[in-house]
Amino acid sequence: MVNTVRVGSRGADVVKLQKELNKRGFKLSEDGIFGVGTEAAVQSFQKSVGLVPDGIVGPNTWNKLLESSGSKIQTISPKGIELIQSFEGFSSKAYDDGVGVWTIGWGTTKYENGVRVKKGDSITVQRALELFMHDLSGFEKAVRSLVKVPLTQNQYDALVSFTYNVGVGALQGSTVLRKLNSGDYQGAADALLSWNKGRVNGELVELKGLTRRRNAERDLFLT
């Protein structure tokens, strides 16, 4: 049994917490002292699994930590979430993404019930986070289902970011997936770079934002 811990806590439970967080890509000193660094890592983890990011490790946070620790299901890391959110950007009001798709929050185009985002919609940060985590879950499931070869955490994060942007259908029919499932990891990474175009006024053109994103995903994949 583990106890609720928070800033100021010390001892074996905090060491266990720090070890579990480090398994997920954080770089904490496993010193048993719950300081501001550990709190920030906890809040990032809580956000990644859809919990309120209050920095307090109670039953719900412990369950999420230990559940994923005992499971072989791969999940996106805080670094992967940061990558996606940095390129998607946050908007509390619906906007045209440049190719005629109304978007809100961190790249959400549909609500949980399937209704599309429309002009005039607005949203709070908390609601946007709920939608982001809902969307992210679906893209993660697709990556886990379609990829048939082992992935490092960075490779997984890069592919989830790619899929979040282009969609499941695009991943499924892509050279990226074909090369990856054949064991050609380098070829898959390089194939990401071709997905940098979008239609502007009916013409397929290179979009600088997509070029930056594909390069970042490729770099992460190969790291």
**Sequential pLDDT tens for the chain (223 residues):** 568 899 999 999 999 999 999 888 888 999 999 999 999 999 988 988 888 999 999 888 988 888 755 544 678 888 999 999 999 999 999 999 877 889 999 999 999 999 999 999 999 999 999 999 989 988 998 998 899 988 899 999 999 999 999 999 999 999 999 999 999 999 999 999 999 998 777 788 899 999 999 999 999 999 9
Assign domain 78-89+124-221 to a CATH class.
mainly alpha
Catalytic residue among 97, 130, 184, 190: 97
Assign domain 12-69 to a CATH class.
mainly alpha
How far, in Å, CA of 114 to CA of 29, rounded?
44
Residue 112 phi, psi (nearest 5): -55, -30
How far, in Å, CA of 184 to CA of 176, rounded?
9
How far, in Å, CA of 16 to CA of 27, rounded?
14
Q: Do domains 12-69 and 78-89+124-221 have the same CATH topology?
A: no
Alpha carbons within 13 A on the beta-carbon side of 194: 10
| Domain ranges within the chain, ordered by starting residue | 12-69, 78-89+124-221
- Measured from the Cβ of residue 214, the count of other Cβ atoms closer than 10 Å reads 23
Instruction: Say if CB 6 and CB 58 are below 8 A apart.
Output: no
Examine the residue annotation and report whether 190 is marked as an active-site residue of this protein. no
Catalytic residue among 13, 20, 39, 88: 88
pTM of the model: 0.66
**Where is 190: in which H helix or E strand?**
helix 185-192
Examine the residue annotation and report whether 88 is marked as an active-site residue of this protein. yes
Residue 106: name the closest of 136, 78, 70 by CA.
136
